[in-house]
Chain A
């Protein structure tokens, strides 16, 4: 039966074919799923890289503080010049009384020239002003300094009337929209307004802090937010974030942005902004049920205390450790048998009596370091106290000298909390992060606030009869994230925060039922057209670039760590040891074995030639050969610290510091960093950079010379 057998054959053939198709499909699917999984892993690793570097950077702030503490404890100025220099660093800015502030930041005498084509503001503000501003900023125009200052004055007047905790009710406007960190990303604010509508009597908004720093249009965001705040005071609510802080602004770009945009009046504007930030409310309550704060809470958070303290006293929340604490450390060290020759002498000195203008007393002999240190401290203390007397504020005896002497210390007339307790309340609110484990511990990564667990959240919610918390402060992939069993919501409104395509931004809407509805977005058009692979690759590239830079900055430490695994001095170590060594130096908590293929390109039989790997890293950073490599490393590692220190010294924000100041700074810095650098060494360093003959240094040029200025500038 010929036909029968050919039917059979056909049948077998098609069976075979479909079997093949099945197998082929499985194979392709198997392969593809593996590809996607790898992408997912890469994406998460990239995220981890960015986060760990970001938070390690914030930790630098603490290192900066340690640097100043170190100065206080160890520096023995050899001349009056040096002494003045140090004391100037600590009197980084004076606190102004109301009248003096008005006088200093006066705008009425400022003339707006006819050539000015930007928007004109008149007070009280009207909705038309807001739309004009939005339009102007879209056209990249700049608001005249006079209007900026006027706006800031009015904003300050308004904020002063507000309580520490704003109250919002959903019965007036049906929905409240809550936005998180914006960080100077104006495009995101525009996108939010486009999608959600402008603030109006029927559209309430809460902006949960961190309006400024990092992004390039922080000032525009502030202007817009303050404008809407004044036009719709009942509907627009602003919370203070940890970046609404002068010391933080010095480091993270806002101060720089203002000075670049307003070369003549920038200083005044910054001063005003300082005095506006400290008046921002600390928290917002919706329907008495939802608490909105920027960072988080701690196990000691006390809303009653928060409501009553004078929030404007805390111009900057970054402070130093208490002297008493450092005493304790010394004691512990001594108990452990370690000697500390430069021990901090007693913390219980009597407050020196204050002459009307302190003249530095005769310095005791330098032979007695303890004596001398104490004398330095006293002298500087006197100087500061004197300055404070000038502006009629007194210092309590408990007060620790801090480098952020911006803290104004009005007399306490009322509740008996210590300044320390009040300060901790605010610090916790602005800087804390939630953690999955129970409990409450110090947030050592950020250097301020704490990590709070679900039990802490639970207690706070119960104590104040709340339903859940809304906070920001941390970047989230999807723009928002729940934790603590949906009792804590993080909302983050700056999309593409780390890099184009890194994350979405989001805002949340709450109606009277207090059920959150989310809207996500991504501000960059490019992000949409990229495939997932391309997006991830791009962000990944950025992350690894940052990571390689960090590795380079620790070259010497890495070499020592590698050598410990290479006792025979072969120049090679196993990849496993590489991973362990790198983590022990960088302390970033990253999955190094996962990241290795992207960081270490060539290996020979599973071993790495570490010297040549480090050389490759150095070549990427385009280091200059004639500068001692370890020095360059230190500079890289401490680049942001350097910049911040320079900005503190350059009090008039002119961008120039004198040669002498530069020399002093460098000497202090190098001694703190344990680099051997003689005076001649510093001079050589200085000579390799061109200076204009008047002895002033543009420190941007200095940083530029070392290729430290970021590419974006």
Chain B
């Protein structure tokens, strides 16, 4: 018996018997896609919720400067560069108005979450990063070192960001950043609540 390849309406291949069943039962999508549908609906609800928190005028738009906060609070860890890429996809094509519409944001963000882009940074990777900056391997960074790296390297911090980080990272007695302790204090366990 030759298995015909069927395509469900999602454009994904329906494999073998599922495909046949599709036709007879009249479903437009294969089992896999339908299972995903529920997950997608849930993801969309979450995105809309996060979006609305920043939608001050209740008109389904947010200030473009808040997109970073929205994307990040949905569990993503994009770099600034990646964020700009994303913005390019959701901004108005003709003339950037400074506002982002939900209807543009939603599909782009849904894909980001489904594709699991901008994955979280595991604790040990973060530790390695600090250790890489700690040239003398003494287990801490001085205030000056941290400021230098954060404001001159990578995607530099603003003055405000630097100040804020120092206020919680700096150990007041030694005036150094004991990065191991800092990391453990800051790492928040978050349940992986995206559908599997």
With A34-B77, A437-B58, A575-B193 as known contacts, state yes or no: A29 contacts B53, CB within 8 Å: no
Interface SS of chain A = helix
Residues of B within 8 A of A38 (CB): 72-73, 188
Q: A21-B132, A40-B73, A576-B45 are in contact. Are A436 and B57 (CB under 8 A)?
A: yes
Instruction: Say yes or no: A48-B53 contact (C-beta < 8 A), given A24-B133, A26-B154, A28-B126.
Output: yes
Q: Contact partner of A20 among B49, B54, B132, B157, CB < 8 A?
A: B132
State the CA gap A632–B107 with chains docked (Å). 46
Verify if A599 is at the interface (C-beta below 8 Å from B).
no
Q: A26-B79, A35-B186, A606-B193 are in contact. Are A21 and B133 (CB under 8 A)?
A: yes
**Which residue from A26, A437, A603 sits with its C-beta under 8 Å from B191?**
A603
C-alpha gap A45/B53 in the complex (Å): 7
| Chain A window 527-546, contacts with chain B (Cβ cutoff 8 Å), 1 for yes, 0 for no | 00001110000000000000
User: Measured between alpha carbons, how far is A37 from B74 in the docked complex, in Å?
Assistant: 10
- Closest partner residue, chain B, to A27 (CB atom): B129
Query: Which residue from chain B places its CB closest to the CB of A38 in the assembled complex?
Result: B73
Within A51-102, which residues are at the interface with B (CB < 8 Å)? Answer: none
* CB neighbors of A among B149-180 (8 A): 149-150, 153-157, 161, 164-165, 167-168
Instruction: State whether A436 touches B155 (Cβ < 8 A).
Output: no
What is the number of residues of chain B that contact chain A, defined by CB distance less than 8 Å? 50
User: Are B77 and A30 within 8 A (Cβ)?
Assistant: yes
- Point out the residues of chain A lying under 8 angstroms from B161, CB to CB: 32-33, 36
**A31/B50 in contact, CB under 8 A:** no
Given known contacts A25-B154, A531-B167, A593-B46, A30 and B53 CB-to-CB distance under 8 angstroms: no
Closest to B51 in A: A591
Known: A24-B133, A25-B150, A34-B76. A606 touches B69 (CB 8 A): no
Assess whether A44 is in contact with B54, with CB atoms less than 8 Å apart.
yes
Contact B72 A37 (CB under 8 A): yes
B32 within 8 A of A: no
Task: Name the B residues within 8 Å of A48 (CB-CB).
Answer: 53
Q: In the assembly, what is the distance between CA of A592 and CA of B73, in Å?
A: 14
Contact A533:B168 (CB < 8 A) given known A48-B53, A575-B193: yes
Chain B positions 104 through 129: 1 when the CB is less than 8 Å from some CB of chain A, otherwise 0: 00000000000000000100011011
Residues in B neighbouring A27, C-beta threshold 8 A: 121, 125-126, 129, 154
The yes or no answer to B52 lying at the interface (CB within 8 A) is yes
The reply on A15 being an interface residue by CB < 8 A is no
Bound: A533/B155 CA distance, A: 23
User: Does chain A have a CB within 8 A of B97?
Assistant: no
Q: With contacts A25-B149, A26-B154, A37-B68 known, is A593 near B45, CB below 8 A? A: yes
Q: Is A13 interfacial (CB-CB < 8 Å)?
A: no
Q: B2 interface residue, CB < 8 Å from A? A: no
- Contacts A30-B79, A597-B190; A24 near B129 (Cβ below 8 A): yes
Cα-based distance from A579 to B154 in the complex (angstroms): 40
Q: Is the CB of B72 within 8 A of A33?
A: yes
Contact A24 B132, beta carbon cutoff 8 Å:
yes
**Chain A hits for B153, CB < 8 A:** 21-22, 25-26
Q: Provided the pairs A29-B150, A37-B73, A606-B195 are in contact, do residues A436 and B56 lie with their beta carbons within 8 angstroms?
A: yes
Asked if B140 is an interface residue, CB under 8 A from chain A, the answer is: no
Q: Does A627 contact B (CB under 8 A)?
A: no
Chain A residues within 8 Å of chain B by Cβ, number: 41
Kindly identify which residue among A29, A576, A596 contacts B154, using a CB–CB cutoff of 8 Å: A29
A594 at interface (Cβ–Cβ under 8 A)? Answer: yes
Cβ contacts under 8 Å, B54 to chain A: 44
> Which of B73, B77, B186 lies at the interface centre, i.e. has the most chain A CB atoms within 10 A of its CB?
B73
Give complex CA distance A37, B167 in Å.
17
In the bound assembly, the distance between CA atoms of A48 and B154 in angstroms comes to: 35
Q: Does B59 contact A (CB under 8 A)?
A: yes
Q: How far is A34 from B186 in the complex, measured between Cα atoms in Å?
A: 11
Q: Considering the chains assembled together, what is the distance between the CA atoms of A564 and B168 in angstroms?
A: 46
Residues of A within 8 A of B73 (CB): 37-38, 40-41, 594
Instruction: Return chain A residues, CB-CB under 8 Å to B45.
Output: 576, 579, 593
Residue of A nearest to B56 (CB): A436
Bound CA span A575–B165, Å:
34
- Residue of chain A at shortest CB distance from B55: A436
Cβ–Cβ < 8 Å partners of B72 in chain A: 33-34, 37-38
Neighbour of A591 across the interface among B42, B50, B125, B164, CB < 8 A: B50
CA distance A44 to B168 in the complex (A): 21
In the complex, A30 Cα to B72 Cα: how many Å?
A: 10
Which A residues between 8 and 23 are near B, CB-CB below 8 angstroms? 20-23
What is the CB-to-nearest-CB distance from B157 to chain A, in angstroms, rounded to a whole number?
7
Most buried by B among A25, A436, A591: A25
CB-CB under 8 A from A35, the residues of chain B are: 186, 188
Q: Shortest distance in angstroms between A102's beta carbon and chain B's nearest beta carbon?
A: 52
Question: In this assembly, does B130 line the interface, its C-beta being within 8 Å of a C-beta of chain A?
Answer: yes
Q: Give per-residue flags for A568-612: 1 if the beta carbon is below 8 A from chain B beta carbons, else 0.
A: 000000011001000000000001111011000001001000000
A residues near B69, Cβ cutoff 8 Å: 37, 40-41
Contact call A594/B49, Cβ cutoff below 8 A: yes
Using CB atoms, name the residue of chain B closest to A436.
B57
- B: which residues have CB within 8 A of A? 41-42, 45-46, 49-50, 52-54, 56-59, 68-73, 76-80, 121, 125-126, 128-130, 132-133, 149-150, 153-157, 161, 164-165, 167-168, 186, 188, 190-191, 193, 195
- 7 smallest CB-CB distances across A and B, nearest first, come from A25-B154, A37-B72, A41-B73, A25-B153, A26-B154, A591-B49, A24-B129
Residues of A whose CB lies within 8 Å of any CB of B are 20-38, 40-41, 44-45, 48, 435-437, 531-533, 575-576, 579, 591-594, 596-597, 603, 606
| New A-B contacts (15) at CB < 8 Å, excluding given A24-B154, A44-B54, A597-B191 | A21-B133, A24-B149, A26-B79, A29-B79, A31-B121, A33-B72, A34-B77, A38-B73, A40-B69, A40-B73, A41-B50, A437-B58, A576-B41, A594-B50, A597-B193
Chosen A-B contacts, 11 in total, with CB atoms closer than 8 Å, are A23-B154, A24-B133, A30-B121, A32-B161, A37-B70, A41-B69, A531-B168, A532-B168, A591-B52, A597-B190, A597-B191
